[in-house]
Structure 1
């Protein structure tokens, strides 16, 4: 999938994600004269949701947000995933900031992880600047088909599935490789993000090494 196609699908996806809160805000304004108190509450909620989503998208699909530590990542992700139905567990990250390209990649990976949780749950992220792992935990957790297709080198397109090829593009830019590790019984397999070449080195290492 070329960069232009990814950009077009990202634009459509952002418009879709912002459209919901914008529609709520517009509806609240229509009701302002009839139910001013309720309308104000709905308008505030819609504006807050739109602000959170735009802030996250700016960091993920824009120029990034620079190096980010655990608190910086949490601030961008808090309340932004699946309308608040998915949370991000960043307790496995160090306090030291991740390099800018890795931080941007981590944000995109968590957003993709939220798509693996149709009924809500948590996306766990652990690691450091030299490698990350994340896994979704929740009822019916399962990675999107688009991710396995993108990992297999198959073409993936469309706003709904754009996070998978976009993640691959960010990983390439950051010098990282994306892979799915062995899954655990009844749980989605962890997604690993490691520097180029580290996977092949680990493949030749002793099975007793971490």
Structure 2
């Protein structure tokens, strides 16, 4: 089956829209807090406004730092990223009372696309437990043989029906919108990293694995080269 192909400009635009969606809420809260400070004289209300501004600024910063690594990591093709940085931005992103992160990936320099894939899989795992729970992240092997396993456990843990198709580059009805772009992008990064992603779901438990892909055919090699080029163009378009 021929995979869906998204134009590089559309991919960059949709990823940018996703980033804006992630930060617009805390930035809006900061604006609201500043308006209260300008108009309110009551000391208690001003204190609440300052607390809102502080927490919202921290949330916006955490989301932007995560997105910078997950969607737009700078550096040339083949660059590496410290997995300690990946852990740091993930912990910041999930710093709430609903979700606990158990990180079991050793701190090493790892291929940029593999780290970006890991971060995008963390987003999918977080979305799988909308009421909170525990996300466990682990890796086995190293270098080209690296594999990841993410377990998301929580009440009503589930995976949307469209996600496997998006990861495989086969979106429903042949359309990818801003809501679906992150999962579709994760599939592109997995291809570029040479990893196959699988998802399984049981009661209160979702498991996501990424393992080295089987040796590609010549046709698949051509497709992967095109995928890498498309991903690089999108990253360049949204890079800070």
- TM-score tier by shorter-chain length is 0.7 to 0.9
TM-score with structure 1 length normalisation?
Answer: 0.81
Q: Aligned partners of 1:109, 1:162: CA distance in 2, in Å?
A: 13
Count of aligned pairs: 195
1:9 and 1:159 in contact (8 A); partners too: yes
CA deviations on 1:99-150 (whole Å, 9 max, x unpaired) are 3221111011101111111111222211144111112111111112331222
Q: Which residue, 181, 191, 211 being the options, matches 1:194? A: 211
TM-score with structure 2 setting the length: 0.72
Work out whether residues 74 and 88 of structure 1, in 8 Å CA contact, stay in contact via their aligned partners in 2.
no
Structure 1 segments unaligned to the other structure (5+ residues): 199-210
Per-residue CA distance 1:3-25 (angstroms, 9 max, x = gap): 43332222111111111001110
**Aligned with 2:162 (options 134, 146, 167):** 146
Offset at residue 189 of structure 1 (A): 4.1
Q: Residue 87 of structure 1 contacts residue 122 of structure 1 at CA under 8 Å; is this kept in 2? A: yes
Q: Which has the higher contact order (CA 8 A, sep 6+)?
A: 2
Q: Structure 1 residue 9 and structure 2 residue 14: aligned?
A: yes
Aligned residue for 1:208? none
Q: 1:1-50, CA deviations, whole angstroms, 9 ceiling, x for partnerless residues?
A: 41433322221111111110011100001010314322211111111111
Name the structure 2 match of 1:207. Answer: none
Q: Does 1:20 align with 2:25?
A: yes
SS of 2:108's partner is coil
Name the SS of the counterpart of 2:128 in structure 1. Answer: coil
Provide the residue aligned with 2:81 in structure 1.
67
- Unpaired segments ≥5 residues, structure 2: 216-240
Q: CA offset at residue 85 of structure 1?
A: 3.4
Residue 124 of structure 1 aligns to a residue whose secondary structure is: strand
**Counterparts of residues 121-160 of structure 1 (less than 5 Å):** 121-128=133-140, 129=142, 130-151=146-167, 153-154=170-171, 155-160=174-179
Deviation of residue 80 (structure 1)? 1.0
Question: Which residue of the partner structure matches residue 191 of structure 2?
Answer: 172
